A and B are shown apart, each in its own frame.
Chain A
């Protein structure tokens, strides 16, 4: 059973609507990753955090997404204006260290943009 908790499991949004997903990392894990997994199972890195600080993010995330990992609150990933191409499984993962350690994935939030 995953100890990384993601909500909601599914969300359906119209084009142009906001879509927000949340993630509670495994306890004691300071690093959180967000990935987008498309229908071909391909992973796209979106952003990662160490504690509350953004470590890296891709251009798309910077422009159309907002993400945060506040202390004592779930991490969140929000698409400001959903597009059809955003339909995917959004996976949150946490780890003890930046890399070279196991990623523990949540069950994902599946976004469908209609």
Chain B
């Protein structure tokens, strides 16, 4: 059973629009939810992360919205820029567990 599901698989938006990437998870004991981005030819890097003590985390143009009841969280990229074009991975983990589960990624293209 896949622990973290991500949608859409690919997303194209115009420059200036808000891109919305979605994730859901299975295990209600997960307590750390990061988003990583990966540019072509590069390794993944942490973008932003949230813990379920809050339902929103903001960092510049990037915002995570978290819904514990529905076991969903999303990444909103406001004022999307062509430089944001990358693959975005959500992940989930539990503090007492040694595993971090990744979604299958959303390939974002921002058109100028």
A99 and B105: CB pair below 8 A?
no
Smallest beta-carbon distance A107→chain B, Å: 5
Q: Is B18 an interface residue, CB under 8 A from the partner?
A: no
Within residues 43 to 64 of chain B, which ones have a CB less than 8 A from any CB in chain A? 43-46, 49, 51
Q: Which residues on A are within 8 Å of B, measured CB to CB?
A: 2, 31, 33, 35, 40-43, 45, 48, 50, 55-56, 91, 98-103, 105-108
Stretch at the interface among B65-73, B75-83, B94-102: B94-102
A41, A50, A91 — most chain B CB neighbours (10 Å): A41
Residue of B nearest to A98 (CB): B98
Contact at A99–B43, with CB atoms within 8 Å? no
Point out the residue from A33, A42, A55, A108 that lies within 8 Å of B43, measured CB to CB: A108
Mask of B25-56 contacts with A, CB within 8 angstroms, 1/0:
00000011010101000111110010100000
- Which B residues fall within an 8 A CB radius of A? 31-32, 34, 36, 38, 42-46, 49, 51, 87, 89, 93-95, 97-102, 104-105, 107
Task: Name 22 interchain pairs, CB-CB below 8 A, sorted by A.
Answer: A2-B43, A31-B98, A41-B105, A43-B89, A43-B104, A48-B98, A91-B43, A91-B44, A98-B95, A99-B32, A99-B97, A99-B98, A99-B99, A100-B32, A100-B95, A101-B32, A102-B34, A103-B36, A103-B46, A105-B44, A106-B43, A108-B43
Cα(A54)–Cα(B99), bound, Å: 12
Q: How far is the CA of A108 from the CA of B101 in the complex (A)?
A: 18
State the CA gap A58–B105 with chains docked (Å). 21
- B31 adjacent to A102 (CB under 8 Å): no
- Interface pair B100/A103, CB less than 8 Å apart: yes
Report the minimum CB–CB distance from B85 to chain A (whole Å): 14
Tell whether, in the assembled complex, residue B100 and residue A99 are in contact, meaning their CB atoms are under 8 Å apart: yes
In Å, the complex CA distance between A88 and B36 comes to 19
Contact B34 A99, beta carbon cutoff 8 Å: no
* Smallest beta-carbon distance B40→chain A, Å: 10
Residues from chain B with a CB closer than 8 A to the CB of A40 are: 104
